[in-house]
Amino acid sequence: MPEAVERWSVGLLQHVLPRHLQIMYDINLRHLREVAARYPGDSDRLRALSIVEEGDEKRINMAYLAIVVIMRKPKSIKKLINFDIEIKDK
């Protein structure tokens, strides 16, 4: 259902939320580095998995952004989860 996927204009985000846009670019850069390390030389895959859609107008794919962010768990959360498991095991 492509019409349901939100895509925000980079120009609009730059005007309204420039710092948020910079964070989105940073997230995308880290994500694409991981993809490139896993699939060296696969530029088609990099384009397909990028949060930033290139074209007539650059857009941020919010669904891709959400997926990339939610798949990452900060180390502090991992420590809390492991700590909780250790307590339950005792």
pLDDT of residue 72: 73
**CA-wise closest residue to 50 among 36, 40, 37, 38:** 36
Provide the pLDDT for residue 70: 83
- Residue range 14-20: mean pLDDT, rounded: 95
Residue extents of the structural domains in the chain: 2-89
Residue 61, amino acid: N
> For residue 76, what pLDDT is reported?
44
What share of the chain has pLDDT > 70, as a percent? Answer: 74
What share of the chain has pLDDT > 90, as a percent?
Answer: 63
3-state secondary structure of 79: helix
pTM value?
A: 0.74
The secondary element (H helix, E strand) that includes residue 62 is helix 62-70
Confidence class for position 1, pLDDT limits 50, 70, 90 = low
